[in-house]
Amino acid sequence: MCEYYFDGKGKAFRPMIVVLMARACNIHHNNSREMQASQRSVAIIAEMIHTASLVHDDVIDDANSRRGKMTVNQIWGERKAVLAGDFILSAASVALARIGNTTIISVLTQVIEDLVRGEFLQLGSKENENERFAHYLEKTFKKTASLIANSCKAVSILGCPDPKVHEIAYQYGKNVGIAFQLIDDVLDFTSCADHLGKPTAADLKLGLATGPVLFACRQFPEMNAMIMRRFSKPGDVERARKYVLQSDGVQQTTYLAQRYCHEATREISKLRPSPERDALIQLTDMVLLRDK
């Protein structure tokens, strides 16, 4: 059950970034491309933490499908699914301890805390429009970007002693992570279910107002009431979806994602040139252009 999602069919987006970042930092530091075993562990742990959170999220959201297959809770039931998530987390935590570096433990433990706090942020919503957007971005950082930012930071710490490099790695991961989630939220409106591997308009159905909705709301203030009642009235989801597609919410969110990607590129460009660094720059384009 715990191996269910480790089937090689995920995008492996996070471990890929972490591996590239590790090599880019190593080259920056001493021109050696060779990745350390500890850095490889961080990449694996990042994907494990991510998977554990997916399993719990699917129970929380009562989701039916992910990555084109049934969710763990659908097949084995919620009781076992929650335990499976806990087990993956404990295995990640053991692997983390075995790296033998207390700084790395602290950096990656921060991710676990952020994931939970992000989930709590998602429960609440703000009345005020500006606050609401800040709330949305904070949630996005905690639920998605923190993992990428802190695992990038962890491999940079292992690869290079310079704190400036750690900050570059962290900022790159943070900006790419937020852009990644913004695009994810756009795809929830523009992509079709078969292609995405999960149902669309899923966020609306869960009562969540993501970037495109918040932008659309500026053009169609009547959406405010729907946001506040979390799209709970019959027809809310469909109507909100129409408003979003009529508005420039999708373009605005995409534009915002572009700005985060530029920032990520600006940060990573401070590292010494290497094929891996350039791959990380190209990756920001892939984040923007992806369709699944």
Partner 1 sequence: MWGAVARRGGGWRGLAAGRPPPAAWSQVVSEAEKIVGYPTSFMSLRCLLSDELSNIAMQVRKLVGTRHPLLDTARGFVYDSRNNLQMRGLVVLLISKAAGPSTADLSFQHNMVSGIYSSQRSLAEITELIHTAFLVHRGIVNIGELKSCDGPLKDMQFGNKMAVLSGDFLLANACTSLAQLQNTKVVELISSAIGDLVQGIYYENSRLSEENCLTDDIGISTWKEQVFLSHSALLAKSCQAAMELAKHSAEMQDMAFQYGKHMSMSHKLHSDLQPFVKESSNDTVVFSLNSAPAVLHQEFLGREAWIKQIKEEKGELKYLGKKCLRDAIGAGRAVPAALELCRHHGARALAALERFPPSEARAALANIVGAASGRS
Residues within the interface to partner 1 (CB under 8 A): 56, 59-62, 73, 77-80, 82-83, 86-87, 89-91, 93-94, 96-102, 105-106, 109-110, 112-113, 115-117, 119-120, 123-124
For the bound state, the minimum distance from the C-beta of residue 266 to partner 1, rounded and expressed in Å, comes to 31
- Residues present in the chain in total: 292
Least distance to partner 1, CB of residue 253, Å: 26
45, two tokens: 């742990």
Three-class SS state of 65: strand
Q: How far is the CB of 201 from partner 1 (least distance, A)?
A: 19
**What is 224-247 written as a DSSP string?**
HHHHHTTT-STTHHHHHHHHHHHT
In the bound state with partner 1, the residue whose beta carbon lies nearer, of 91 and 201, is: 91
Closest distance of CB 239 from partner 1, Å: 22
Instruction: Rank residues 118 and 177 by Cβ distance to partner 1 and give the closer one.
Output: 118
Whose Cβ is closer to partner 1: residue 61's or residue 162's? 61
Whole-number Å distance between alpha carbons of 139 and 145 = 9
Nearest residue (CB) to partner 1, 35 versus 112: 112
Nearest CB to partner 1, comparing residues 109 and 269: 109
> How far are the Cα atoms of 64, 94, 274 from residue 100, in angstroms, in the given order?
38, 10, 29
Minimum distance of partner 1 from residue 132's CB (angstroms): 18
Q: How far is the CB of 209 from partner 1 (least distance, A)?
A: 18
Least distance to partner 1, CB of residue 50, Å: 14
> The tokens 């695992």 sit on which residue?
151
CB 40 within 8 A of CB 18: no
Report whether 46 contacts 18 (CB < 8 A): yes
Question: In a 10 Å sphere around its CB, with 0-12 CB exposed, 13-18 middle and 19+ buried, how is residue 162 labelled?
Answer: middle
Contact between residue 210 and residue 187 where contact means Cβ atoms under 8 Å apart:
no
Nearer to partner 1, 44 or 105 (CB): 105
Q: Give the integer Cα–Cα distance in Å for 19 and 265.
A: 17
- Of the pair 32, 106, the CB lying nearest partner 1 is at 106
